[in-house]
């Protein structure tokens, strides 16, 4: 039983909470399945779960039931220290990795630009910074 003295210490069986969580997760995965079906040309072939939810007991079976395909829970695979390769860190690591790759791609694009284009961009950024301080 769970209780919270701040809202009246009403006891709720853990099984009831699990039932609610399972129903909401199933609903979320149904929405994801339908959204993917309407936006992809082909079928989804497999699902790989990552993030903290991937640690939940029975989550892969739930996803397999919704998508009717194989599902596995996996750790985020990237070049980071082993201590950061936990499912609960995957969103943060993924966003940092995306930002780093975007910055590298931007730098590569700027390499091919001429001198005047680079100077123009410096002044444009400077002007934007000055406007923010006003």
Q: What is the model's pLDDT at position 3?
A: 60
Kindly state whether residues 112 and 130 are assigned to the same domain.
yes
Kindly state whether residues 60 and 107 are assigned to the same domain.
no
The candidate with the shortest Cα–Cα distance to 28, out of 55, 57, 2, 49, is: 49
Kindly state whether residues 102 and 43 are assigned to the same domain.
no
Per DSSP, what are the bridge partners of residue 6? none
Kindly state whether residues 65 and 103 are assigned to the same domain.
no
Kindly state whether residues 66 and 7 are assigned to the same domain.
yes
Which residue, 24, 51, 74, sits at the end of a domain?
Answer: 74
Distance between CA atoms of residues 61 and 57, nearest Å? 9
Mean pLDDT over residues 97-123, rounded?
71
What are the structure tokens assigned to 62, written together?
A: 């739930």
Q: Which domain holds residue 44?
A: 1-74
Which residue, 58, 74, 90, sits at the end of a domain?
Answer: 74
What is the percent of the chain where pLDDT is above 70? 74
How many whole angstroms from its chain centre is CA 41?
A: 22
Q: Kind of pairing, strands 71-73 and 47-49?
A: parallel
Lowest mean pLDDT among 4-18, 26-40, 66-80, 112-126: 112-126
From residue 24, how far is each of 43, 46, 55 by CA, in Å?
A: 24, 21, 16
Q: What is the model's pLDDT at position 4?
A: 59
Which residue, 56, 74, 92, sits at the end of a domain?
Answer: 74
Phi and psi at residue 71, to the nearest 5°: -140, 145
Kindly state whether residues 63 and 90 are assigned to the same domain.
no
Number of domains in the chain: 2
From residue 8, how far is each of 3, 4, 71, 120 by CA, in Å?
A: 8, 7, 41, 63
């Amino acid at each position: 039983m769970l209780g919270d003295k701040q809202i009246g210490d009403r006891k709720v069986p853990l099984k009831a909470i699990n039932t609610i969580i399972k129903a909401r997760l199933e609903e979320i995965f149904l929405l994801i399945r339908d959204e993917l079906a309407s936006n992809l040309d082909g079928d989804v072939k497999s699902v790989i779960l990552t993030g903290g939810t991937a640690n939940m007991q029975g989550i892969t079976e739930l996803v397999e039931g919704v998508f009717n395909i194989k599902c596995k829970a996996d750790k985020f695979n990237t070049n980071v220290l082993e201590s950061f390769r936990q499912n609960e860190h995957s969103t943060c690591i993924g966003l940092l990795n995306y930002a780093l790759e975007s910055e590298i791609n931007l730098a590569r694009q700027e390499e091919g630009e001429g001198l005047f284009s680079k100077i123009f961009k410096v002044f444009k950024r400077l002007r934007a910074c000055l406007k923010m301080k006003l």
